[in-house]
Structure 1
Amino acid sequence: MMWDSRSWTGTLVEAGQYFITYEFVSTHNLYTWYLTGVYAPHTRDEKLNCWEELVAVRTICDGPWVTCGDFNTNRTMEERKGCNRISFVMFDFSTWIHEMELHDPQLHGGDFTWFRGLNHPSAARLDRFLFSMEWEEKFKNIKQKLLPRVLSDHCPVMLECGNWEKKRSNFKFGNWWIKVEGFTELIQVWWNEFLVEGCPDYRLNIKLKMLKEKLKNWSKANFGMIANKKNSLLEELAEIDELQGTRDLTEDEMMVRATIVVELEELAKNEESRWRQKSRVLWKKQGDNNTRFFQRMATSHRRNNTIDRLIDKGEIVEDPIEIRNIMIEFYRKQYTESENWRPET
């Protein structure tokens, strides 16, 4: 097991016959997590003992936990060439992952991590990363990626966890979305397109995340289209009004103008609904035309919820990373019991 000492401080926690566990503390922001490397045995009884030992290791790793390595078994028939039945050890392995509440992300770049030889048909997915819910809550865009195999019969596997700097952007369902024509049908199409393997609760969790990303991208593109459509309608309306200043409008032109006005009203309602939800002002009537007021309220909430400077030991700190480290250290001290503290009897 190797790590970059410029970024992490590693401390041995536990070592067994088939695994080794280290605690890693970031040198940048005191973030702590645990990694267990595994090289599983061959027989079923030995594997069961190995997994029981990993359960015990997990109890002493209080925080985000990742385990990885050669588990020497696959979970599904698709993870081994020529496999036509689910063996007992495959069932045991999947049950253990489920009971440990671990996540097994989809493997990108290939289906198998082990090959018997260049001209041999045997291949299987024996190597993988598994991680706890605390790890998933911390990082975004977690992917398990297959790397090229050079000399070994095993392919290297890399766990990608997105950018280190976390940019908070909470997902919020837009109330105005349900008013868009065909929105419900679009959700149904997306949901049916998502193909996820695993236990039911894991599939539901992953599909909801995939749906969230689809909705975010759709909302961004659709809202941009709404803005362009609004500007286009306003230009058409200005042209008709200019024409009306020189002569009477024909019946068809009056019908076009009325249609444009109706469409603009509908767009205005959607825009108002969007800003109303952002502002969290729920005591205003939906029909009131207070879009500018809602925009100011949303901006005010954003400003009040932002800490752009702190005074630490008499000095003003404005760097976002330093502010974050100061806050982490403050609450770490607040929730750390003193060595001299004793419960009352």
Structure 2
Amino acid sequence: MVSLENTVSWRATFVYGEPRCELRHEFWDLLQRLHRQRDGPWICCGDFNEALTHDEHFGTRDRSHAQMELFRSCLEDCGLRDLGYAGPKLTWTKRREDHCNVKVRLDRAVANGAFTALFEYYQVENVITTSSHHFVISISLNSHSSPHNPPVQMWRRTADYNGVVEASWLANNDVVRSLQATWSNLNRMAGSLRDWSRMKFGSIRKQMQNLERKLHIMRLAPVSVSDLTEERKLEKTTL
């Protein structure tokens, strides 16, 4: 349950659907039990391990119509509807070559009418990642965009990262004994890391942005077998 000042309480459920088809009905039963437990605004998001329609599946084998029907029936019984998305449609890839590859929209956000009435300006975005078979589901419940996070994972893979952190933290020889001193050290370290990152990664980041932009455009295009090999090459480049 989420309770914010001056707003009604609402419920968020983060899901991982049953991966075994023969047991997936147990997951739908669980969602229906959660639905019966409490009224009010409700959003569910995550990997449901199932598609809603045939156009959410790309592969050489057809998806089970019966399994998708169980998913649709569960959402209808719970009063949940798909919140849509911005970005690529298919959120999971098997990452196989050519005809062996499979892509499915497994990840999504669904909510009831009370939730969409409470958060009228919600937005769901499928965010491309290169470190997982799944895309990230980003949900915004207001109109303000959040600032970009610093590329900490890229920094940590660099040999001199720890040295930069240590040097900037120890630049003030005074022992850190107060909250103000700690705050000053953190601000100084953040500035040092920004300058170091700009000098060390400036051109590399532009190259990465260009590659990710190309990959994004490719994934937004209609799925075709001929593009899968090129897409896989781009994924390996951006890892």
Q: With structure 1 as the length reference, what TM-score do the two structures score?
A: 0.38
Q: 2:43 pairs with 59, 63, 66, which one?
A: 66
| CA distances 1:149-201 after superposition (whole Å, capped 9, x unpaired) | 1311100011233348xxxxxxxxxxxxxxxxxxxxxxxxxxxxxxxxxxxxx
| Counterpart code for 1:92 | L
Q: With structure 2 as the length reference, what TM-score do the two structures score?
A: 0.54
SS at match of 2:117: helix
Larger radius of gyration between Structure 1 and Structure 2: 1
Q: 2:72 pairs with 89, 94, 97, which one?
A: 94
Q: Measure how far apart 1:141 and its partner are.
A: 3.1
Say whether 1:43 aligns with 2:20: yes
| Counterpart code for 1:133 | G
SS at match of 2:3: strand
Q: Measure how far apart 1:36 and its partner are.
A: 1.0
CA contact 1:76–1:86 (8 Å) conserved in 2: no
Structure 1 stretches of at least 4 aligned residues deviating more than 6 Å after TM superposition: none
The gaps in structure 1 that reach 5 residues or longer are: 1-22, 165-345
Quote the Cα distance in structure 1 between the aligned partners of 2:42 and 2:58: 31
Quote the Cα distance in structure 2 between the aligned partners of 1:73 and 1:61: 25
Quote the Cα distance in structure 2 between the aligned partners of 1:44 and 1:84: 14
Q: Measure how far apart 1:33 and its partner are.
A: 0.8
Name which structure has the greater RCO, CA cutoff 8 Å, separation 6+. 2
Bigger mean CA offset, 84-93 vs 146-155: 84-93
| Counterpart code for 1:105 | L
Cα RMSD of the aligned pairs, angstroms, is 2.0
Quote the Cα distance in structure 2 between the aligned partners of 1:115 and 1:155: 9
Query: Residue 113 of structure 1 aligns with which residue?
Result: 91
The gaps in structure 2 that reach 5 residues or longer are: 145-239
Q: How many aligned residue pairs are there?
A: 141
Q: Measure how far apart 1:85 and its partner are.
A: 5.8
Query: Residue 108 of structure 2 aligns with which residue?
Result: 128
Q: Map 1:1-345 to 2 at 5 A.
A: 23-26=1-4, 28-82=5-59, 84=62, 87-117=65-95, 119=97, 121-163=101-143
- State the identity as a percent: 24
CA contact 2:57–2:63 (8 Å) conserved in 1: no
SS at match of 2:39: coil
| Counterpart code for 1:148 | I
SS at match of 1:108: coil
